[in-house]
Chains A and B, each alone.
Chain A
Amino acid sequence: MTCEFKIKDRVGTINPIFTCQPAGAQYASIGIKDCIGIVHGGQGCVMFVRLLISQHLKESFEIASSSVHEDGAVFGALDRVEQAVDVLLMRYPHVKVVPIITTCSTEVIGDDVDGVITKLQEELLDVKYPDREVHLIPIHTPSFVGSMVSGYDVAVRDFVKHFSKKGKPSLKINLITGWVNPGDVKELKHLLAAMEVEANVLFEIESFDSPLMPDGSAVSHGSTTIADLEDTANAQGTIALNRYEGGAAAKWLQKRWDVPAVIGPTPIGIRNTDTFLQNVKAMTGHPIPDSLVRERGIAIDAITDLTHMFLADKRVAIYGNPDLVLGLAEYCLDLEMKPVLLLLGDENAGYAEDPRIKALQENVSHDMEIVYNADLFELEQRLKDGLELDLIMGHSKGRFVSMDYKVPMLRVGFPTYDRAGLYRYPVVGYAGATWLAEQMANTIFSDMEYKNNREWILNMW
């Protein structure tokens, strides 16, 4: 029995698991209040990412484009950035934060975005907007490097780099959530509130799940403020939940401002949530209260109803963002399930050193593959070749594999546009552990009934 860790052996991508870096930077940018990013490139790099985000969250977010056309591609397009910044600032008086997010086209033509920001500071901001707080932040996210995951990581780091400012030591901690849903942020804040710990949440996106108000006044936006970002330098410590989405920012804060960093684990499942709370306790000295003991007990009570009878030995394939996939795989093992295939959608030098992957390789007693630089065809090919699966976990783009091979699928991660409201529910914390176990079970139950596969078991349990 082995756990193989390997790269996909085709060079091309059939049905990608990820999109490219600028999308990650855009998702990070909408978490900041009074922020509208400008994506420096062709218009599709923004239009489709806005669509993707709105498909997932069923909300609209504002992100601008520098609208590079043919002339810009030939002669350089920095004038488009200059114009974009001015137009944006004129028309959106509340905007204070403007990341300039590069793309493949503008990185290839070599536009000096850092240079034009210096120029804009002197010639535009100081002259035309002297009394207005405006931050122009270069974010280099060429699409031919990394993936949306690294784009998110780069953007969080660069925001923190730009804003963090030494001031009075604060009792807060920095909580860098990684690429999560509003439901996750809500659960994380709940856990911290139970421990009476205050946090700078990067990014505070609970407000993405916004209402339709009678007067039509509601808009969806992130709620992390400039003050929150500045204060990251003064925190007691940083907890970055995800190694690949926010880990870089945590490391940078440690190096630059001596803010101790704890990176990971992603608090998916009971065990990783326990570790998260232990890390918070160690960092702040606040005890874990009885209320969380009770909550944990409710989760474990629910899970106990499911594990031995229904989830044990179920064979699972999981794909998506690496921290999510690895967290889910670890949790599945605690649930007596068998994660047999993990697909990571990019090639990241860090994977080889990831302690979670090493631990899986050392301890898993069933046959398992972890494929990086993977695409969804890797999953399909294996099913075609006879891989037996009881469950797939991943985002909506893999829906056809599930349908074609009649393997039930639990939507998790980003994007989950083909199911209603999933962004509202957490996968992290004890509530997330309960939700995951119950949804996995219910997904399998529906499939049993649909296929008349021992569905009578459910008559009595």
Chain B
Amino acid sequence: MPYHEFECSTCIPERKQHAVVKAPGEDLTSCLPLGYLNTIPGSISERGCAYCGAKHVIGTPMKDVIHISHGPIGCTYDTWQTKRYISDNGNFQLRYTFATDVREKHIVFGAEKLLKQNIIEAFKAHPDIKRMTIYQTCATALIGDDIDAIAGEVMEEMPDVDIFVCNSPGFAGPSQSGGHHKINIAWVNNKVGTVEPEITSDYVINYVGEYNIQGDQEVMLDFFKRMGIQVLSTFTGNGKYDDLRAMHRAHLNVLECARSAEYICNELRVRYGIPRLDIDGFGFEPLSASLRKIGLFFGIEDRAQAIIDEETRKWKPALDWYKERLKGKKVCLWPGGSKLWHWANVIEEEMGVRVVSVYTKFGHQGDMEKGIARCSEGALAIDDPNELEGLEALERLKPDVIFTGKRPGEVAKKVGVPYLNAHAYHNGPYKGYEGWVRFARDIYNAIYSPIHQLASLDISKDPIPTSHGFMTPEMISDAGLDEAVRASDVLRPYTGKADIITPLREKTDYPEFPRRQSAAE
């Protein structure tokens, strides 16, 4: 068996089946770690809880909603201002967070009255907002408050408001993934089908599993609009509450993060007959294939192809500039869930790097199947990694860069490995053609940082190079580069603006496509 046993984990033998090395000739029948099992207590895993999976990952990116957590203040405070899911309405969802502030007396006597007061107060504080989501927490789940009943009561008393309840306490499952599932199902059960949308196109989709990190959703919506596709709703980044109540009227669910949002797509297929199409917004080829697939579904491949041709022409020379300079660089691709398979193969193909390890904090075996299938031979795949295993892997693999979260990034920094934020991005968006070049640019900047080079110099013993007063990334990256590449007048580094999202918000010149007669009537 190809299982990889970490030295630091020999004393917890059950960990052995959570890591594999994809050896030559191995396939998924033999090379697949266990996944989504209970965490080993005390192992210092990186996993979060089911409350955060529901509220923080999926619920809060909805932009026109009061997000209130029913519990003590900590859950609310801790999940506030730790993500970069922006919106085009002034980031209400980032700026405001609400806690019912459950105290000891409420634990003893119940907190339903407190909840109701909170709901009324919150609407009063934000009279323009008429939508609310309420998230259960460990404390209020255990005392058994009936949140649904209170929400129903308020909705009767205040007919202009609508409230969604998500019962996903922190302990509900091995990781945040449990909460993804719970909020998916709760939304389709309680809210889908309660609003009828206006249909303005012959081609209508929901964009699902997309959280608008640094504007990803807005980049992708631009493509859909250029194809004349109506996006009824986005689940949930930059998404509107009432749009998401109308998901049942789409012709197609276009699914990005299958880890966190496949459940709702599957339910929409079963209940409303809406097909599910999995796509990739990351990488030139996967994105092009995705746009083609959507075009093919609706019979508008030509519209997709026009975008693909235009964007590729515009951005490929920049991508290739970085690819030449990133060739062979070793990457640890250590994200939370879906990016391990979104990125594993395409960063090798399109940026020339080598993925030496993938891991997933809360992914299931299905994510590992996809991830390992897309990895090259020799890659180390780890499920639910813990602190010591991560360090051991860094020591063994000596990667040139690591894509992971903020805190694990600090661990990597100390052992001299630069990190890129895989969840929030450094300077995204990373979706779309231009976004993908920005990702390559960020990787390049991390690896070839002159400071990174200085970090490994021990001035007490190493010879100190005194020939230069400075270095640029290009002086480092281009030192061994082929002259033809260096002097190429086709390849060029990225020169886009820091903010590429504001212009998209102001853009109005989308093509008008005449609707088919029968459908329009």
- Is A168 interfacial (CB-CB < 8 Å)? no
- Is A130 interfacial (CB-CB < 8 Å)? no
Q: Do A377 and B81 have beta carbons less than 8 Å apart?
A: no
- Is B199 interfacial (CB-CB < 8 Å)? no
B95 to chain A, nearest CB (A): 4
- Is B492 interfacial (CB-CB < 8 Å)? no
Q: Do A104 and B78 have beta carbons less than 8 Å apart?
A: no
**Please, which residues of chain B bring their CB within 8 A of the CB of A50?**
407
Q: Which residue of B lies closest to A347 (CB)?
A: B103
- Is B289 interfacial (CB-CB < 8 Å)? no
- Say yes or no: A143-B72 contact (C-beta < 8 A), given A10-B121, A214-B456, A397-B81: yes
Q: How far is the CA of A20 from the CA of B387 in the complex (A)?
A: 25
Besides A92-B388, A381-B125, 5 other A-B contacts (C-beta < 8 A): A12-B114, A67-B174, A69-B172, A73-B141, A91-B388
Q: Do A87 and B42 have beta carbons less than 8 Å apart?
A: yes
- Is A448 interfacial (CB-CB < 8 Å)? no
Stretch at the interface among B8-16, B260-268, B442-450: B8-16
Nearest first, the 7 closest Cβ-Cβ pairs linking A and B are A20-B74, A42-B170, A84-B42, A44-B49, A84-B41, A48-B78, A105-B138
| Among candidates B46, B74, B118, B171, residue contacting A11 with C-beta atoms closer than 8 Å | B118
- Is B189 interfacial (CB-CB < 8 Å)? no
Q: Do A13 and B101 have beta carbons less than 8 Å apart?
A: yes
| Among candidates A144, A377, A397, residue contacting B139 with C-beta atoms closer than 8 Å | A144
Q: How far is the CA of A148 from the CA of B173 in the complex (A)?
A: 26
**B419-457 interface with A by 8 A CB criterion:** 455-457
| Among candidates A58, A67, A81, A219, residue contacting B39 with C-beta atoms closer than 8 Å | A67
Q: Do B138 and A67 have beta carbons less than 8 Å apart?
A: no
Q: How far is the CA of A414 from the CA of B102 in the complex (A)?
A: 23
When each residue 403-441 of chain A gets 1 if its CB lies under 8 Å from chain B and 0 otherwise, what string results? 010000000000000000000000000000000000000
Q: Do B47 and A43 have beta carbons less than 8 Å apart?
A: yes
Q: How far is the CA of A14 from the CA of B387 in the complex (A)?
A: 34
**Please, which residues of chain B bring their CB within 8 A of the CB of A377?**
125
**Please, which residues of chain B bring their CB within 8 A of the CB of A108?**
107, 138-139, 142-143
Q: Do A12 and B78 have beta carbons less than 8 Å apart?
A: no
Q: Do A43 and B175 have beta carbons less than 8 Å apart?
A: yes
Q: Do A144 and B456 have beta carbons less than 8 Å apart?
A: no
A42 to chain B, nearest CB (A): 3
Q: Do A54 and B81 have beta carbons less than 8 Å apart?
A: no
Q: Do A52 and B41 have beta carbons less than 8 Å apart?
A: no
Q: Do B411 and A12 have beta carbons less than 8 Å apart?
A: no
B333 to chain A, nearest CB (A): 19
| Among candidates B45, B99, B117, B139, residue contacting A104 with C-beta atoms closer than 8 Å | B139
Q: Do B72 and A212 have beta carbons less than 8 Å apart?
A: no
Q: How far is the CA of A214 from the CA of B104 in the complex (A)?
A: 50
Q: Do B104 and A12 have beta carbons less than 8 Å apart?
A: no
Indicate the member of A14, A51, A72, A404 with the most B CB atoms within 10 Å.
A14
| Among candidates B73, B79, B125, residue contacting A18 with C-beta atoms closer than 8 Å | B73
B163 to chain A, nearest CB (A): 15
Q: Do A19 and B78 have beta carbons less than 8 Å apart?
A: yes
Q: How far is the CA of A246 from the CA of B46 in the complex (A)?
A: 30
When each residue 60-90 of chain A gets 1 if its CB lies under 8 Å from chain B and 0 otherwise, what string results? 1011111111101100000011011111101
Q: Which residue of A lies closest to B117 (CB)?
A: A11
Q: Do B171 and A72 have beta carbons less than 8 Å apart?
A: yes
Q: Do B73 and A13 have beta carbons less than 8 Å apart?
A: yes
Q: Do B41 and A12 have beta carbons less than 8 Å apart?
A: no
Q: Do A86 and B42 have beta carbons less than 8 Å apart?
A: yes
Q: How far is the CA of A44 from the CA of B75 in the complex (A)?
A: 8
- Is A396 interfacial (CB-CB < 8 Å)? yes
Q: Do B99 and A13 have beta carbons less than 8 Å apart?
A: yes
- Is A38 interfacial (CB-CB < 8 Å)? yes
**Please, which residues of chain B bring their CB within 8 A of the CB of A104?**
71-72, 74, 102, 107, 137-139
When each residue 376-392 of chain A gets 1 if its CB lies under 8 Å from chain B and 0 otherwise, what string results? 01000100000000000
- Is A47 interfacial (CB-CB < 8 Å)? yes
Q: How far is the CA of A212 from the CA of B80 in the complex (A)?
A: 29
Q: Do A43 and B49 have beta carbons less than 8 Å apart?
A: yes
| Among candidates B104, B407, B414, residue contacting A216 with C-beta atoms closer than 8 Å | B414
**Please, which residues of chain A bring their CB within 8 A of the CB of B411?**
60
Indicate the member of A12, A67, A84, A105 with the most B CB atoms within 10 Å.
A12
- Say yes or no: A54-B406 contact (C-beta < 8 A), given A20-B72, A65-B41, A67-B38: yes
Q: Do A67 and B415 have beta carbons less than 8 Å apart?
A: no
Q: How far is the CA of A381 from the CA of B44 in the complex (A)?
A: 41
Q: Do B142 and A144 have beta carbons less than 8 Å apart?
A: no
A3 to chain B, nearest CB (A): 26
**B73-104 interface with A by 8 A CB criterion:** 73-82, 94-104
Q: How far is the CA of A18 from the CA of B75 in the complex (A)?
A: 11
Q: Do A42 and B51 have beta carbons less than 8 Å apart?
A: yes
Q: How far is the CA of A311 from the CA of B141 in the complex (A)?
A: 50
- Is A22 interfacial (CB-CB < 8 Å)? yes
Q: How far is the CA of A83 from the CA of B12 in the complex (A)?
A: 11
| Among candidates A80, A147, A219, residue contacting B414 with C-beta atoms closer than 8 Å | A219
B110 to chain A, nearest CB (A): 12
- Is A291 interfacial (CB-CB < 8 Å)? no
Using C-beta atoms within 8 Å of the partner chain, give the interface range for chain A: 35 or more
Q: Do B139 and A105 have beta carbons less than 8 Å apart?
A: yes
Q: How far is the CA of A91 from the CA of B174 in the complex (A)?
A: 21
Q: Do A19 and B41 have beta carbons less than 8 Å apart?
A: no
**Please, which residues of chain A bring their CB within 8 A of the CB of B414?**
60, 210, 212, 216, 218-220
A193 to chain B, nearest CB (A): 27
**Please, which residues of chain A bring their CB within 8 A of the CB of B416?**
212, 214, 216
- Say yes or no: A54-B41 contact (C-beta < 8 A), given A12-B118, A62-B387, A91-B388: no
- Is A55 interfacial (CB-CB < 8 Å)? yes
Q: Do A45 and B49 have beta carbons less than 8 Å apart?
A: yes
Q: How far is the CA of A145 from the CA of B74 in the complex (A)?
A: 11
**Please, which residues of chain A bring their CB within 8 A of the CB of B406?**
51, 54-55
Q: Do B82 and A48 have beta carbons less than 8 Å apart?
A: yes
**Please, which residues of chain A bring their CB within 8 A of the CB of B174?**
67, 69
- Say yes or no: A12-B42 contact (C-beta < 8 A), given A19-B73, A19-B77: no
Q: Do B171 and A73 have beta carbons less than 8 Å apart?
A: yes
**B27-46 interface with A by 8 A CB criterion:** 38-46
Q: Do B121 and A51 have beta carbons less than 8 Å apart?
A: no
Q: Do B407 and A51 have beta carbons less than 8 Å apart?
A: yes
A91 to chain B, nearest CB (A): 6
- Say yes or no: A14-B117 contact (C-beta < 8 A), given A108-B139, A218-B414: no
Q: Which residue of B lies closest to A87 (CB)?
A: B42
Q: Do B121 and A11 have beta carbons less than 8 Å apart?
A: yes
- Say yes or no: A11-B458 contact (C-beta < 8 A), given A43-B39, A48-B52, A51-B82: no
A7 to chain B, nearest CB (A): 12
Indicate the member of A43, A54, A84, A219 with the most B CB atoms within 10 Å.
A43
- Is B156 interfacial (CB-CB < 8 Å)? no
Q: How far is the CA of A376 from the CA of B317 in the complex (A)?
A: 48
B55 to chain A, nearest CB (A): 10
Q: List 26 A-B contacts (CB under 8 A).
A: A11-B101, A12-B117, A14-B98, A16-B80, A16-B97, A38-B41, A43-B47, A44-B78, A45-B74, A52-B78, A54-B407, A60-B410, A65-B41, A66-B42, A69-B38, A85-B42, A91-B388, A104-B71, A104-B137, A104-B139, A105-B142, A108-B107, A143-B139, A147-B73, A215-B458, A216-B416
A4 to chain B, nearest CB (A): 21
Q: Do B104 and A62 have beta carbons less than 8 Å apart?
A: no
Q: Which residue of A lies closest to B107 (CB)?
A: A144
Q: Do A400 and B74 have beta carbons less than 8 Å apart?
A: no
Q: Do A91 and B102 have beta carbons less than 8 Å apart?
A: no
Q: Which residue of B lies closest to A214 (CB)?
A: B458
A278 to chain B, nearest CB (A): 37
**Please, which residues of chain A bring their CB within 8 A of the CB of B456?**
214
**Please, which residues of chain A bring their CB within 8 A of the CB of B77?**
16, 18-20, 397
